[in-house]
Every structure is written in C-alpha cells, then in structure tokens.
Amino acid sequence: MKTIYLAGGCFWGVQSYFKQLEGVVNTEVGYANGDGNTATYENLKNSGHAEAIRIDYDPDLLPLEILLQHYFRIVDPTLKNRQGNDIGPQYRTGIYTVDTSDEAVVQEALVHLQALYTQKIQIETEPLKNYIPAEPYHQDYLDKNPGGYCHIDPSLAQKPLYGTYRFVKPSDEGLKKSLSPLAYQVTRHNATEAPGSSPLNFEDRPGIYVDITTGEPLFSSDHKFDAGCGWPSFTRPLAPDTLAYNEDLSHGMRRVETRSKIGDAHLGHVFEDGPADAGGLRFCINGAALRFIPYEDMDDAGYGDYKHFVTER
C-alpha cells in the first residue's frame, strides 16, 4: 500500500473521481501544505492550505505513473490558484509526496506533461506537510449530494485513459493478480502454450492485438495470416519499436525470441519462413500473451487513435 496527496481544486470531485479507480483502496479529503497544523474550510485563505485528497492505493494494480495521468486528466495544469469557477490559493493544484522514492516519478511525469503545453505548468510539488482531514460533511460529499457543484466530471473515471503513461509495466506481483496462470507463465517465464489452444489462433475479425501485460498495441489484423503452425502469426509488428529481440538457444534450437519492449513480456519467436510478398517473416506469437480488441470496440476501449492501423471490413 502506498499513499499520495493531490490538490486539484474542489476536492469533492477529485475524491469522487479517484475512488472509482481499480487499485484505489481508500480516499479522504482534507487540507494540505499550509502554514500550521490547524485549518478549517472557512479559514483556508488565512491558513494557506490547499483543498487536497489523500489516496491510499495498491501500486501493483495502479502504478503511480498511471495515477498521475488520471490526475492530469481532471485538472488544468496551467492555471494558478484556480480550477473551474473556484478561485483562490486554496484551489491551487499540487502533488504532495510522503515517500521520497515517489519524487523522481512525479518530476518525470511533469516533464512529459510540460512538453504538451506552451504555457508553464503551475502544479506545486512538495513533500506533504501540515495535513488536516476535512470536516465529516465534506467526506464523500458528491455521494451524499449528487447535485453538488464541482468542475470535475467524475464519470470520466469510467472512460479509457489516453496519455503519455498509457502503457506501463506492472510489477510482477501485480501481474500474478491480474493474469491467468497460463498468461503469467508465458509472459514472465517464457512458457509456450499448446498449439491450437488459443482462440486468437482462429480470430479473423479486424482489430488490434495488445500486450496482455500493459495494453500496448503490438499487432494489427491487417498483418495476421494462417501459418498452419497452431499459433497466431503475423508478418510484422504494428510498429517497429514495439518489440525487442533476443537470441534463444533453448531446447537445442537457435531461434530469435520476441518480447514487448515496454512490458518485457515474452511473446514468442520470429522466423524467416513467412509470406515472401509480405517481407518473408513469421511472427509466431502465443495467444496467451495477447488481448484482441475488435475494430468496432477500439474507441470505447481507448484505442481509437490506433484505428488507422486497421483496415475495416
């Protein structure tokens, strides 16, 4: 379990958004990084505190990089002392850490964020200090008062996340929780599924095939073909920089292993006996290492920006 504190303007909506995310275990609204150890909702302008939310989360299910991408989604990071219609230093944006190892992650995330804007990013980053839980009536306020105002739309939490940190390698412990035993053995321990055992071997709809460990798109249906080998086969990856290649001398053979670059997941092997008119390569991939996203579901699944890789039939 890890904890981080975020200030994003009105804390009602920030709490309502984050409590919906898988991996968030507990949330609490309060006042952070002011001048003293006392603060109330009425005196925030004088105490210097920001409306903030404490988030206790499981980093195996929700890495900090992804958590921060959700935060960037619901704030305007270029505004100083303001979010939505709320104006004042108590409505400033801020990321407050309690674990020094998180500071580098936060700074790297902000570098990526700044690259998306011409205006200066105004998010305050400091170690947490002088945090005070807010009054009980503020806790889970929008659950109690569904019509309450907040500049944040909590329903965004149910929609796919787009952004720089969209594909992040989970921890090994997180993969044990989220993957099937077969998928875990294939991707983490180089196991091979039985030939003909994967439903993806027979999948012929248009769509993309993504790394089951990270969700990163790896292959397009445009390049899939029936190699008769018993495993899903492709003539090329969706993009050249999505795969890594290693020499594999196991089982008395000399082969070239393919792994996903971001997830470092074992996928299968690449051979030089593919269709000559498509380059001559055959990427022989374990179906257990992939998840298929049909073309018609790509928008809802968060992959609409990859539709140009697929020819709709």
Active site residues: 10, 284
Separation between Cα atoms, residue 209 and residue 204, nearest integer Å: 12
Inter-axis angle of helices 64-74 and 102-114, nearest 10 = 40
Would you tell me how many other CB atoms lie within 10 Å of the CB of residue 115? Answer: 9
Residues contacting residue 62 through CB under 8 Å, at least 6 positions apart:
21, 22, 23, 24
Would you tell me how many other CB atoms lie within 10 Å of the CB of residue 35? Answer: 12
Backbone φ/ψ region at 255: left (φ over 0), alpha (ψ -120 to 50), beta = beta
Give me the count of residues in the chain.
313
Q: SS3 of 253, please? A: coil
Cα 202 from chain centre = 29
Separation between Cα atoms, residue 1 and residue 44, nearest integer Å: 30
**Element holding 111 (H helix, E strand):** helix 102-114
Query: How far does the chain reach from its first CA to its final CA, in angstroms?
Result: 46
